[in-house]
Amino acid sequence: MRSRKPYGSATNVAKILTQRAYWDGEHVLRSRLKAAPQFVDTIELEAELRGHSGCVNCLQWSDNGHILATASDDFHVMLWDPFRHKQLHDLMTPHEGNIFSVKFLPKRSSSLIVTGAGDCKTFVFDINRQNDQPIRDCSCHAQRVKRLATSPRNVHVYWSAAEDGLVLQHDLRQPHNCSGQEANVLIDLRNYACGMAELKCIAINPQRPEQLAIGANDIYARLYDRRMISLMKVNQAMDNANNARSDMTDNIPKDGCVKYFCPGHLGSKYQTGNHLSELQQYKAVTYLAFSPDGTELLANVGSDQIYLYDINRPREPLLLELPKMSSAADGSPNGSDCGEGKFPTEKTKHKFPPDVEQLKKEGNASLEKNLFLQAINKYTQAIQRVNGKDCAILYLNRATALMKRNWYSDVYAAVRDCHTALQLDPHYVKAHFRLARALLKLEHTKEAQLCLDELVRRFPSYAKNPGVLKLDKDIGLELDKQRHRLACSRQDSATELIKDKEKYWRKTSMDYEHRYIGHCNTKTDIKEANYFGDSNFIVAGSDDGNFFIWERHSGIIRSIYSADELIVNCVQPHPYICMLATSGIDHEVRLWSPQPTPEKRLERRLDSVDTIVSENQSHMQLDPFEPIAPDQAICRAS
């Protein structure tokens, strides 16, 4: 029996090649080229788009990348040709509040535009019509609409997230009159968190549109499966929110429908009761973005860092999980050079390649000079060179630098590095000790005591080590303080409103895969973070008027650019070429692209990375309990 020919009637190589589809290969090549390092490293300001008379709060590219939509506090939506730097259309909307979100309805020739604003309304416009009156309006939300979402696979539907705690689903194929009787409520967060739940952002997975993610005025990124949720009426949702009974109508199943993601040190898995620390209460997820392939979720957390979550292979939060050791190894010191008060390095001294050894040496030198950012970057680069194998000392050195730097989430990152070092070398006494010290610094005192006790059990010769004795004393003092605080404290009544389902979901929250540090996100609650290029880079704005580009896998800052006089909120990469659009408090929208001027210094690219990053992180830690501004008050004041 003859085998089937995959190319129809073609019988020779020439015909096969002419009939072969090259789109996939071309698409991959273009994706890689649009953010190739040689292009990213020559990005510079290309043009400024002028026309708005207020802060520009949102940007959106059309599907084909030919049009850029911008929306502002001036209630205008403007459409631009990004290649000719020309305004194509100026749409004066009926909004009476700052426009916070603008979206193109996909595959509609970029003619349908949706807006959401501080007046609690959403409008749909057809810019091909003679007048600029909306073809659909909705005022079902009771608080400000912060973000809209669309799906490339559903051209008739869009979603809105607002500070009333509701996610509404809008279907353009169905009539709408805002009577409260239409079943258009997908999620009512007030049913689970508390009456003060406010939604800040929303995103749809481009590859799996059934997955919808939302961020609110807390530390969690929530991922829902829409197929398992039945729509409710607005009036029904309002009744449920005002009803404390446990038998109220609930449209979200407990198992399988929702997943929670949260930095491991902030999550509820290790919290007692409903109590949240003051630090947690003042954080919010200001933006969410799925990776182009739909496997990751990027979260910009206000008053904290940017976190990347692997949604298909999520990581469990980790505080204390010591590797098992053989009985022969237990109790034996691992190193003959360990005197009183000293700890060994590794069980086996590994010889690194010259380039890795040089990076380690440079990292050690930076650490001694308290140049922690440089030290961490050097250790990270060294780890990447050896692919994470046989390099326990590199992870432990990086953990040391992280603990000394002590920015938000640094100590927890050090805990994770200590665990990695112990997985690579279970006999690494110093890694046991540093893990116990990091857990104490993280205020997980019981885990710190367990870790130190296990160190002494495994390596009895260190029971009288001065460092061990001092750490044991420090842990005892902290345990006494915690008992005193527990006896005197009263549980916050507001947190008692958290429902049982919400407690369960929070306790099952998953940890981040990567994090990105350097920007400052405290002054506004609309600050974005996005993937750039072939997902090799992460971009985000900052309160210092700059935008940042990070290497996605290492978290190292690639470059920083000055883009606004005050604050950069929006950084939106072009869908097909190496171009970025940014906006913020300034009234201008700025376009960035590689510029063919190698002999000329890049004027907007900043060199003082260490200083900028240190100032941003210091600013976040000066007053960590100041709430994120509900809107851009600084813009209105100016």
Digit-coded pLDDT (tens) for 26-45: 555 666 667 788 889 999 99
Q: How confident is the model at residue 271 (pLDDT cuts 50, 70, 90)?
A: low
Q: Pick the more confident residue, 34 or 402.
A: 402
Least confident of 141-145, 286-290, 331-335, 368-372: 331-335
Give the C-alpha separation, 226 to 236, whole Å.
19
Residue 588 pLDDT greater than 70, yes or no: yes
Structure-model confidence comparison of residues 247 and 431, the more confident one: 431
Q: Any idea what DSSP says for residue 324?
A: P
Q: What is the percentage of the chain residues whose pLDDT exceeds 90?
A: 64
Split at pLDDT 50, 70, 90, the class of 369 is very high
Q: For 227-261, write each residue's pLDDT tens digit.
A: 999 999 887 766 665 554 444 557 888 888 999 99
Give the lowest-confidence range in 214-223, 448-457, 598-607.
598-607
Least confident range of 338-352, 493-507, 515-529: 338-352
List of residues 6+ apart from 364 with CB closer than 8 A: 375, 397
% of the chain with per-residue pLDDT over 70 = 81
Kindly list the domain boundaries of the chain, sorted by start residue: 51-237+250-270+280-316+502-620, 354-486
Q: How far apart are CA 432 and CA 418, in angstroms?
A: 8
Q: Evaluate if residue 122 carries a pLDDT over 50.
A: yes
More confident residue, 487 or 475: 475
**What is the Cα–Cα distance from 201 to 165, expressed in whole angstroms?**
11
Residue 493 has pLDDT above 50, yes or no: no
Mean pLDDT of 436-454: 94
Q: Cβ contacts of residue 348 below 8 Å, gap of 6+?
A: 425
- Per the model's pLDDT, the better-predicted residue between 539 and 14 turns out to be 539
**pLDDT higher than 60, residue 508:** yes
Quote the pLDDT of residue 636.
38
Q: What is the DSSP string of 142-180?
A: SS-EEEEEEETTEEEEEEEEETTSEEEEEETTS-----S
Superfamily of domain 51-237+250-270+280-316+502-620: YVTN repeat-like/Quinoprotein amine dehydrogenase (2.130.10.10)
Please, what sign has the CA dihedral across residues 592, 593, 595, 598? Answer: positive
Q: Which amino acid is at 387?
A: N
Crossing angle for the helix pair 466-488 and 429-441, to the nearest 10 degrees: 20
Q: How far is CA 460 from CA 331, 333, 418, 555, in A?
A: 5, 8, 21, 39
Q: What is the mean pLDDT of residues 161-167?
A: 96
pLDDT score of 2: 43
The model's confidence at residue 111, banded by pLDDT at 50, 70 and 90, is: confident
Which residues contact residue 254 at a Cβ distance below 8 angstroms, ignoring those fewer than 6 apart?
A: 501, 504
In the predicted structure, residue 268 carries a pLDDT above the cut 50: yes
> What is the model's pLDDT at position 17?
42
pLDDT at 328: 44
Low-confidence winner among 153-167, 180-194, 531-545, 588-602 (lowest mean pLDDT): 588-602
Q: What is the pLDDT of residue 33?
A: 67
Q: Per residue in 90-100, pLDDT tens?
A: 999 999 999 99
User: Position 389: which residue type?
Assistant: K
Give the per-residue pLDDT at 634. 41
The pLDDT confidence band at residue 16, using thresholds 50, 70 and 90, is very low
Q: Measuring CA to CA, how many Å separate 371 from each of 152, 489, 551? A: 46, 39, 20
Pair 363, 396: CB distance under 8 Å: no
pLDDT at 32: 63
Q: Looking at residues 452-481, what average pLDDT do you find?
A: 93
Which residues share a beta bridge with 150? Answer: 158
pLDDT grade, residue 12 (50/70/90)?
Answer: low
Q: Is the dihedral of CA 516, 517, 520, 525 positive or negative?
A: positive
Q: What is the CATH number of domain 354-486?
A: 1.25.40.10
- Provide the pLDDT for residue 241: 56
Task: Inform me whether the pLDDT recorded for 342 exceeds 80.
Answer: no
Instruction: Identify the pLDDT of residue 390.
Output: 82
Per the DSSP assignment, residues forming a β-bridge with 309 are 297
Yes or no: say if 470 and 446 are a contact pair by the CB < 8 Å rule.
Answer: no
Q: What is the pLDDT of residue 4?
A: 43
Phi and psi dihedrals of 100, rounded to 5?
-105, -15
Confidence of residue 467 (pLDDT cuts 50, 70, 90): very high
395 vs 181, higher pLDDT: 395
Least confident among 2-16, 205-219, 526-540 = 2-16
Lowest mean pLDDT among 80-89, 426-435, 599-608: 599-608
Average pLDDT over the chain reads 85
- Report pLDDT for 523: 92
When pLDDT is averaged across residues 170-194 and rounded to a whole number, the result is 89
Q: What local confidence, expressed as pLDDT, does residue 18 receive? A: 45
Q: Which two tokens stand for residue 30?
A: 């273009």
In this prediction, residues 68-78 reach a mean pLDDT of 97
What does the buried/exposed string (b/e) look like for 33-70 if buried means 16 or more CB atoms within 10 Å of the residue's CB?
A: ebbeeebbebbbbbbebebbebbbbbbbbbbeeebbbb
Please report, as a single letter, which amino acid is at residue 287: Y
